Amino acid sequence: MELIAVESLALGKWVAPGNDAAKIASAITGEAIAQIGDGALDFAAMREYAKTKGGPALRAMTYHERAKMLKALGQAIAARKGELYELSYNTGATKADSWIDIDGGIGTLMVFASKGRREMPDGHIYIDGDVEQLSKKGTFLGQHICTPLQGVAVHINAFNFPVWGMLEKLAPTLLAGVPAIVKPASQTAYLTHACVKIMMESGLLPEGAVQLVSGGTGNLLDLLDCQDVVSFTGSASTALKLRSSPHLLEQSVRFVAEQDSLNASLLGPDAKPGTEEFDLFVKEVVRELTAKAGQKCTAIRRILVPQGLEKELIDAVSARLDKTVIGDPRLETTRMGAVVSLAQRADVLEKAALIGQEAQLVYGGQDALTVDGADAVKGSFVKPALYHCADPDGAKLVHETEAFGPVSTVMGYRDLAHGCEILNRGGGSLVASVITMDGDVARQVALNSASWHGRLYINNRVSMGESTGHGSPLPHLVHGGPGRAGGGEEMGGVRGVMHYMQRTSVQGSPDILTAISGQWVTGSEEKTPPAHPFTRSFNELQIGETLWTDSREVTLEDIEHFAEFTGDTFYAHMDEEAAAANPFFPGRVAHGYLLLSFAAGLFVQPDPGPVLANTGLNDLKFMKPVSPGDSIKVRLTVKRKTRRTDEYGEVRWNVTLFNQDEEQVAEYELHTMNAY
Ligand code: NAP
């Protein structure tokens, strides 16, 4: 069989493995299927290429353009995903395992594409939070903004998710506008390589946006500075080695670490055998033991149950594991494939033996292994192993040893406080789960344990039908954890994009802040439009265009009419004495909603035109009561514009209501959809 040549992609060209290339074996047959080795990559030139070609090209695009690119990339990969599934069997993955990796990766691109369009501007500067008032008269203000780093993101990935592992980092990086150099783990790099080929052949990526290092990273990390990021996923020992490099420390290079984790799942005291929660717990435990043959950073390594229930739990898990057919992952009947390599199998068995020093093997073990349709010796198959640790307080190894395969340990806890103590003994994990119907149990675990874990997954009969699984990181939510888990965070929607951007506080006058942010700031220039703004198309409207309306008196009859008409006869509007007794009101006052309605009546231009719909309002504040006899007038200003579809975009307007003394009585942000 011809070996797959796992090339690198450097300076826009594919580079074949060199003479010193290492062989990679199939997890199923043990035979060599690919070769990898970087030959002679010029890492300085690769970084320069990313910085001078990829970075500027990406930064020239808006967040929305980059989001659209991510969506198209996801579609391009989806159209050819069959090629990836085929290769993936060699990693030991079943079809279901590959779905997590390949479709999970495509889904992650899609979520970031959609979040980029919905939550980020169609521009170049991301505005973080509100304007900060720094002066009495409002002539000197502050605003946080985020802009893309001008270096390169070096992604170093683990072997277990060759596609998802790359895409979950690429999506936020490219959305930020930063080019990437991707270095997959050698053992499964042939799959990452195939996916990068698909992306490059799609022609969607600007030149220099993505490069691939198949093999070692040479001196790459020693070339980085504060505009670069290293985003690492792998073992704690490699992370420690890399992040403690004097060069990275000296240059304050951002280092995001996702490393191994002794995740735990706790069965709530209420979830007794016979309840739906008990069965759900067993199901989740078995799924996490067997999916990807236990090679998931989020897998359940420690199983916590109320003392006295250990045996029942072990029996239930064992009965399910008995039905888990291990074999060639191409067979439809196979439920669990192999770990990635013979070396990985040796490592798993070695770590399991360590756990065995403190816990008793109660299910499985390599002697009990039977394999369907493949050679159990040549392929790297591992029988799931369940241990029971009778003394979780005195034990150490069970809380610290990650056997990165189908290995897990059952422990009993005395009470919830003790359960939380054991949960936290992992020293910081990616995810902890609790199966309970009891809100108090969930709250106690959150209070005692949330700070030790990146994600808390709570499940019960209500949510189980739609829940996503203990072990599934989601692009919307933060993935990462404290301490042992690396102290890093990835994904979490737009939060994940921020790892590749710099947050800067900008100070200046309102006009300066408007010029930088592209969003009208109160106090900056009010432009007079040539016609009513409601008659002007999305493209014609300029940021800062302002309409001042006539003023209108609010009478007692108006208030009474509105109260009768709507049914809102709240005492503050109807009862002089009761209203005056209230600390907020001088007497009867106008309804806030009446003021909003009058405001619309004052600023609206009624004819059919480019304004298609009013889609909502934000940040409504009633600042001063309006009494009968007061007058109001409105200032309507174009604050921000965002293109939405091919036909229309969203306009956000600042709407401020003033009384006859020029005092602000209300303010809000109005949203309309306007035709181009
Ligand atoms: P690993 O041995 O630490 O390798 C991780 C990556 O680092 C690989 O790409 C590896 O490349 C690279 N690497 C190793 N030494 C390097 C060096 N000196 N300079 C630059 N790169 C270097 O981990 P793994 O065996 O691939 O992955 C398994 C581990 O990852 C498990 O412990 C698991 O818990 C953890 N993991 C964590 C997460 C998470 O999100 N927290 C996700 C998945 C896996 P080579 O392969 O070429 O050596």
Q: pLDDT of 656-668, one tens digit each? A: 999 999 999 999 9
Dist. CA 186–CA 22, nearest whole Å: 9
The mean pLDDT value for 358-366 works out to 94
For a substitution probing ligand 1, which of 101, 166, 235 has the most ligand atoms within 8 Å of its CB? 235
Position 39 pLDDT exceeds 90: no
The mean pLDDT value for 393-400 works out to 96
Dist. CA 353–CA 283, nearest whole Å: 25
Residue nearest to atom 10 of ligand 1 (CA): 185
pLDDT of residue 388: 98
Mean pLDDT of the chain: 96
> Tens digit of pLDDT for each residue in 150-175?
999 999 999 999 999 999 999 999 99
The mean pLDDT value for 37-50 works out to 91
C-alpha dihedral (121, 127, 128, 129), degrees to nearest 10: -100
* Dist. CA 257 → ligand 1 center (Å): 10
Residue nearest to atom 46 of ligand 1 (CA): 185
Residue type (1 letter), 6: V
Q: Give the residue ranges of DSSP H helices in 232-337.
A: 236-243, 246-250, 276-290, 310-322
Q: What percent of the chain has pLDDT over 70?
A: 100
Query: What one-character-per-residue DSSP string does 339-377 give?
Result: -S-HHHHHHHHHHHHHHTTTSEEEEE-GGG---BSS-TT
Which two three-digit tokens encode residue 396?
């150490």
* Dist. CA 475 → ligand 1 center (Å): 21
pLDDT of residue 668: 98
* Dist. CA 186 → ligand 1 center (Å): 9
CA dihedral sign of residues 420, 426, 428, 429: negative
For a substitution probing ligand 1, which of 38, 156, 219 has the most ligand atoms within 8 Å of its CB? 156
Residue nearest to atom 13 of ligand 1 (CA): 238
Dist. CA 92–CA 628, nearest whole Å: 77
Dist. CA 112–CA 496, nearest whole Å: 10
> Tens digit of pLDDT for each residue in 418-455?
999 999 999 999 999 999 999 999 999 999 999 999 99
Q: What percent of the chain has pLDDT over 90?
A: 97
Residue nearest to atom 14 of ligand 1 (CA): 238
pLDDT of residue 367: 87
Position 618 pLDDT exceeds 80: yes
Position 312 pLDDT exceeds 90: yes
Return the active site residues: 258, 297
> Angle, nearest 10°, between helix axes 276-290 and 310-322?
50
Contact 427, 447 (CB under 8 A): no
pLDDT of residue 482: 96
Residue type (1 letter), 520: W
Compute the radius of gyration of the chain from its Cα atoms.
30
The mean pLDDT value for 187-198 works out to 98
Q: Which residues line ligand 1 at a C-beta cut-off of 6 Å?
A: 156-160, 183, 185-187, 217, 233-235, 238, 242, 258-260, 297, 402, 404, 430
Residue nearest to atom 40 of ligand 1 (CA): 258
> Tens digit of pLDDT for each residue in 84-123?
999 999 999 999 999 999 999 999 999 999 999 999 999 9
* Dist. CA 157 → ligand 1 center (Å): 6
Q: Which residue has the tokens 């919307």?
A: 476
The mean pLDDT value for 8-31 works out to 92
What is the position in ligand 1's atom list of the atom closest to the CA of 490? Answer: 40
Which residues pair with residue 662 across a beta bridge?
A: none
Dist. CA 20–CA 423, nearest whole Å: 46
Dist. CA 478–CA 491, nearest whole Å: 5
pLDDT of residue 38: 65
Residue nearest to atom 8 of ligand 1 (CA): 185
**Residue-range domains of the chain with CATH:** 41-259+496-501 (3.40.605.10), 264-485 (3.40.309.10), 526-675 (3.10.129.10)
What is the position in ligand 1's atom list of the atom closest to the CA of 158? Answer: 26
pLDDT classification of 19: cutoffs 50, 70, 90:
confident
Residue type (1 letter), 90: N
The mean pLDDT value for 590-606 works out to 97
The mean pLDDT value for 315-319 works out to 97
Contact 496, 229 (CB under 8 A): no
Which two three-digit tokens encode residue 326?
């291990």
Position 1 pLDDT exceeds 80: no
Q: Give the residue ranges of DSSP H helices in 139-275.
A: 164-176, 189-201, 236-243, 246-250
List phi, psi (to 5°) of 459.
Answer: -140, 150
pLDDT of residue 37: 85
C-alpha dihedral (570, 571, 575, 577), degrees to nearest 10: -160
Give the containing element (helix H, strand E) for 8: strand 8-10
Contact 549, 602 (CB under 8 A): yes
Contact 35, 5 (CB under 8 A): yes
What is the position in ligand 1's atom list of the atom closest to the CA of 237? Answer: 3
pLDDT of residue 526: 97
pLDDT of residue 450: 97
List % helix, strand, coil for the chain (3-state, nearest 5): 35, 25, 40
* Dist. CA 595 → ligand 1 center (Å): 61
Q: State the greatest distance between any 2 C-alpha atoms of the chain, in Å, as a whole number.
A: 93
* Dist. CA 486 → ligand 1 center (Å): 12
What is the position in ligand 1's atom list of the atom closest to the CA of 216? Answer: 47
